[in-house]
Every structure is written in structure tokens, then in C-alpha cells.
Structure 1
């Protein structure tokens, strides 16, 4: 079959993200004998016109639409992407079979399929199941009985996890442009998350059982990226440093390979030791991001974190002593949040002195998470409420003052970034920052900023 692979993601804040999920589909689809063409809408000025042109030029029999996110999970400055996905499906209707997938789609598959009017949807990982779906379609048979296939409003069989995670094939996509405009490429070393953060969707998308790629295979992929001109990568794993022995094995393999590529990753403060961080630095790591969520012991427990304040302190100390830039991500507004717990987070961040603090206000509610169950129990949402539009958990104790409290604290601290409140983070500022010769996360440039900047809350819609 002729297959058009469409990356629906158009979000470029804080930087454009390469469509890794679609690239992972390419090897198995080509092995099954399909003819492929890719359309990445991230850089298209008129996405609907681009879809129409691709349909006319390529005449695909099926269009595979990857939905990375359904919104920007940011409050109060939320942006929904679902209308854009529907517009793509509308252009394809009557011309080719439309199959939706991707992490965003998999969070609310029946709802998104119904909203967009797509023909089919694939929940979870598609590398193995998609060729089976297409084979049935070619024979004129329905694939609705296959694992993870959504064909309407009814129930569907649970997805089948991929056992062997193959390396992606990036040749159909503009890798150089992502490097030029985003400053890095992305790579995944494992799937699955065994942790219990109450809001997190990774266990829903990838399962709780971890599946690791061989270190030698990862290094080979890194070498391919280096040969393509990539000099910086971001490891998109939910947690790079878990399991710790695997992270160390990979870093030692990178050192042995002689690669001189810079990189950063999202890590858990519970599993950082001086030896592991030293090995990471030797392998090219120059920045890390901690999924800290709070500086309050009570809030860490409420959010289901696996670590405490002392581990946040110790991991931060290790980064400082080794000269590694580091950022802590903080989530304000969760269950039990009060002005006092907010103050604890500010105080701890002042103490550990990271390069940057990325503060998110409100926590996006997704079906299937413990946070959703709590929101239902507290009457914030109903069990069958459609959540396609951005819906956030904000503890009633601070709902009316959260924005003001975070703004007041962040504006007096130069290293704080609050995307939803546009404190040291706006689309215009990001565009300006991209002109700096930086590789990796833009928050590393926070040291070059002057006083904090924000758009007054009264001017936001």
C-alpha cells in the first residue's frame, strides 16, 4: 500500500520535537512492503493545504496520523490541538483510510476518534500491530478485533506491548532542520515506567514493565546521528537513570565508542550517585532535568513521588560539584497544596540553587490516572466527562490565588520559568533565544537573562 505518514504536531514551544514515534514505524512498514511518504506539519505555514497537496501528489491508500499531544498541558495559558487533528482527517475523508495513533491519541482514543471522524485508531505502540492492521485492510477484512485497535465508540482489546524496541529510521524526516531550529535530536533507550506519580500517563502508554534496548544498539544509533551532523541529543526516556546499572552501562559504552556528542536527560533524584553522574559527564552529559514536582515533604507524598527532600538536596549537590547545569520541574496546585507548601517549594529551590526552575501551575487531568480518580471523588469531573479540552486539577484551597502566589515568588527569582504564567517564557522570547548558539535545553540560557519578565495576569485571556 501507499502510506502517507503525517506528524500532526505543530507545537514549537519550547522547541520543535522530532517525530520519533513515526520514525519508529518506518522499519516494520517498509519490511512489510509498503511504499512510504512522510508529511511533517511542524514547519508548514498552511497545514491543511500541505495535506491536500500530499494527497493529490502521492495518492495514498491510507494516511497514518501521529498525535503526539492533545494540548500543551499548561495552565492558565492552555492550547488545545484537537481541532487541528480533525482538520487533517477532514481533508483525507473519502480519499484514503485514516488511521490515528501516537501518545496523545492513546490517552483518549475513543473520544478522539469520534471527535475527528477518523476510520481507525491504534492505542499504544504501533510497530508490530500496524502491519497486521494494513494486511487485513488489503484483504478487505476488519482489523477491529486486533489488540489496541479502536474502530468506534465500543470497547477495544488492550494493546499488545512491543517486546523488542527497534531503532527508528529518520530518513523520511527533516532531521537537519530539527537540529538547526531545536538544537538537538531525540533518542529513546527504554520503555515502561514502574513508578506511581498520581498524574503520570507513562504507565498507561508504555506499561509498568520496563523494556530496555541493548546498549550497543543505542550507541550505533547515536553514531548514525553523529554522522548526520547531530552534535547534541536529548534522551526522551521517562527516567534516564533507572535502572541505574543500565544507565551506567550505556554511559560506559558511549565513552568506549569515542563519541563526543553532548546530551541531556530527565532523571530521578532518587537514583543519582556521584559515580553515576561522573560516568554520565564522561559520556557527554552537560545538563539534567529533575522531575521533582515539589519542595514540600507533604506534597511529595501526595503526588506519589518515590523520593524525599533529602534526595533532592543530595542530587542537586552532586550536579553543582560536577559543574552540570540542572533544572527542577515543579508542579503547583496538586492535592493538598496550600500557601505554606508553595512557600516550602520556593525555599527548597532557593537552597539547592539549580540553573533553572520550571514551574507548572495546575496539573492536567487524564483518564486512567489516580489523579483522575481523585478528581472524580472530589466532584471536579464526572466519571464519563469528556476531557479532550484541557482540564486541570487545582486544589480548592489555592485555586483562586495560585497564579498570584507563583507569580509573586517567581518574579523575584531570576532562575524561575513559569510557561503558563509567561514568566521568563513566551513565544517571542523563545524565538529570540534560538538565535543563541546553544545546544540542548533552552533553560541553560537562563544565566544570560536579566531581570525576570512576565505578562501581567490582568492582560491574559
Structure 2
């Protein structure tokens, strides 16, 4: 923000992370003129019109815009002409979104507070037009950035069927639930999918329940095995610590990692062990730190030997990946 101190233009700031703490960030950086809380595709042009002299929208107060969540049917297609494909060669560097909001109750998650507690679905025809434009522009891959790609199930099946009809579709990936129907993984592969990620987060039934996960932990190994069998690269994401899980659970995650990579393919099966950051409005944050802002980073970390093991693992990964 220091680079903007002497700039005479208007500063508008928004985004998912910003939307959790808009007042706090504006207090810290008074150079910000307007804050866009939530989704801006429809609201931002209205805010810009106001800056140019039009009447202020009813949802703008004291520089903070809190527009209502739009229907996905009203959101226009992205304009990819401003992003040359040659500048984005990495796997999944283009994001495509098919739904917003969530119906699940993962303890650490802020999706519901940011996007609503129900799915708002994008018409399948709109998704197809979006991907056809991605293809026409020469992008070599894209990523579905939905929190869970395979819900609601009827919409999911309609969508992957439509994807299979797109000519020369680039390779794509998505985040899946552990309960995704196994037969749909074959359909996804035929429709251009080449990698999937799962986020079980925990490894024990107690942890699964306390984290508010849906489905069943017992579905994890079969779905990972099936995904690899159809030719998909697979990522599995765990947390280093979570309520109800201790050192033994952490060691079980490492056992799962080596089992998956040894038996399902070392080069195409990846395990990530990360750490929960606690944000305001997440159920776990409300439980552990009721009423606290949590603006400064607070993490749910393992303790003692478990913490030492995780730090060593992360150091090895950074060395291996060169960062």
C-alpha cells in the first residue's frame, strides 16, 4: 500500500480474504477509498459509476460496499482477452467456477460466511461457453475452483456429460469429495479431467466427526485407488493437527502417504500436510476463540514431537521443491 500513498487515483479493494476483515484493513490502510465486500462482478461497475458521478448504490455505506449476492445466471462471462494465454502456461493456471456457496459444515471453513449456506449454480450452458472460450484462447489447462465439484450430484452429472461434448477441451482438474460416485471418475477422464484433489483433512473417525466432515472416511482409499486406476493424478490433503487427533493420527497420515505413493504411483500420487489457519466466523474459530477477531494469523498447530515432525517434513518439501 505504500506505493499508493502519493497516487492521486481512487483505490478500490476487494476479494475473499479482504471480505473477512474489511473494516480492520481499511483502518490500517486509510489510503483505501472503497471496499468491496463479497462478489463484485455486478456491483463493481455500479460502484465505478458512482465514483464517476452517479448516485450511490443503496448497499454502499461509509466507503464499504456490501452488495447482495447475485444469481449466477446474472454474472457475465469472464473476458479472457486481457490475459494472454502465453503468460499462464502452468497447470490449472486458469480458474473456472461453476457454483458458489456451500451446504457442508467443515469446522475451519469460511465459505458459508463469504458465499452463503446453499449452492448457487451456474447454468451448464454458461460453463460450456466459458470453457470453449478458454479453449479458443489457447490455454492448455484450467482448474475448476469450486470448493466441491461433485455436489449437487444431478448438476455434477449434467456438467461432466456436457464437458465430454466440448471439442479439444484442455486438460482440467477439480476438488472432489471422498464420496464422489466411482463410476463418474471414468466419465470425468473421458471429458478431459487429468487430476483431482481430495481434502479429507483428518485420518480418524473422531477427527472426521469433530471437523464436521460429510460422507465417510472409509471412502477415502477406494476413491483414491479408483482415481489412479482411471489415469488421474491425485492429490490428498491432510492437516497436521485438528481437534481429536494427536501424534498417533499424524503418524497414520504419513503411513497413508507412503502407502498411496508406493502402491498407486509415486509420481502421480501426492500428499500435502498443511496447517489450519483460524479465521473469524469459521465454526472452529468460534469454538476455540469466541468473540475474537483473529486478524493476526492464528494456527491450529500440533504440539511437542508432532510439531517437530511436521516442521521437518515441511523443511524437506521446501528443499525438494526449491523454495
TM-score norm. by structure 1 comes to: 0.63
**170-179 or 186-195, which moves further after superposition?**
170-179
SS for the counterpart of 1:208 is coil
Match for residue 306 of structure 2 among 402, 408, 411: 402
Equivalent in the alignment of 1:20: none
SS for the counterpart of 2:175 is strand
- Please state how far the C-alpha of 1:88 moved relative to its aligned partner: 4.6
- Please state how far the C-alpha of 1:290 moved relative to its aligned partner: 0.3
Aligned-partner Cα distance in 2 for 1:273–1:167:
30
1:301 aligns with 2:209: yes
8 Å Cα contact 2:160/2:191 also seen in 1: yes
1:332 aligns with 2:243: no
- Please state how far the C-alpha of 1:243 moved relative to its aligned partner: 1.5
The 1:162/1:376 distance shift into structure 2, 3 A limit, reads: same
8 Å Cα contact 1:98/1:119 also seen in 2: yes
Residues 76-225 of structure 1: pairs in structure 2 closer than 5 A:
86-92=1-7, 95-117=8-30, 118-139=32-53, 145-146=58-59, 149=60, 151=62, 159-163=67-71, 164=73, 165-179=75-89, 181=90, 184-225=93-134
Q: How many residues align?
A: 314
- Please state how far the C-alpha of 1:141 moved relative to its aligned partner: 5.3
For structure 1, the residue ranges without an aligned partner over 5 or more in a row are 1-85, 378-382, 411-420, 431-461
For structure 2, the residue ranges without an aligned partner over 5 or more in a row are none
Aligned-partner Cα distance in 2 for 1:87–1:302:
42
Residues 351-430 of structure 1: pairs in structure 2 closer than 5 A:
351-353=259-261, 355-361=269-275, 363-377=276-290, 383-385=291-293, 387=295, 389-394=296-301, 398-406=302-310, 410=313, 421-425=314-318, 429=322
- Please state how far the C-alpha of 1:125 moved relative to its aligned partner: 0.5
Aligned-partner Cα distance in 2 for 1:291–1:183:
18
- Please state how far the C-alpha of 1:264 moved relative to its aligned partner: 0.8
Aligned-partner Cα distance in 2 for 1:229–1:427:
31
- Please state how far the C-alpha of 1:428 moved relative to its aligned partner: 6.1
Equivalent in the alignment of 2:185: 277
SS for the counterpart of 2:82 is coil
Aligned-partner Cα distance in 1 for 2:223–2:292:
41
Aligned-partner Cα distance in 1 for 2:132–2:321:
34
Q: CA RMSD in A?
A: 2.4
The 1:87/1:173 distance shift into structure 2, 3 A limit, reads: farther
Aligned-partner Cα distance in 2 for 1:193–1:142:
31
Aligned-partner Cα distance in 1 for 2:61–2:208:
36
- Please state how far the C-alpha of 1:166 moved relative to its aligned partner: 2.5
Aligned-partner Cα distance in 1 for 2:197–2:241:
20
8 Å Cα contact 2:145/2:175 also seen in 1: yes
Equivalent in the alignment of 2:159: 250
TM-score norm. by structure 2 comes to: 0.88
Cα-to-partner distance string for 1:339-395 (whole Å, 9 max, x where unaligned): 12222323344444460101103x111111112112215xxxxx34451x322123x
Aligned-partner Cα distance in 1 for 2:161–2:318:
36
SS for the counterpart of 1:171 is helix
- Please state how far the C-alpha of 1:142 moved relative to its aligned partner: 5.1
Aligned-partner Cα distance in 1 for 2:231–2:283:
37
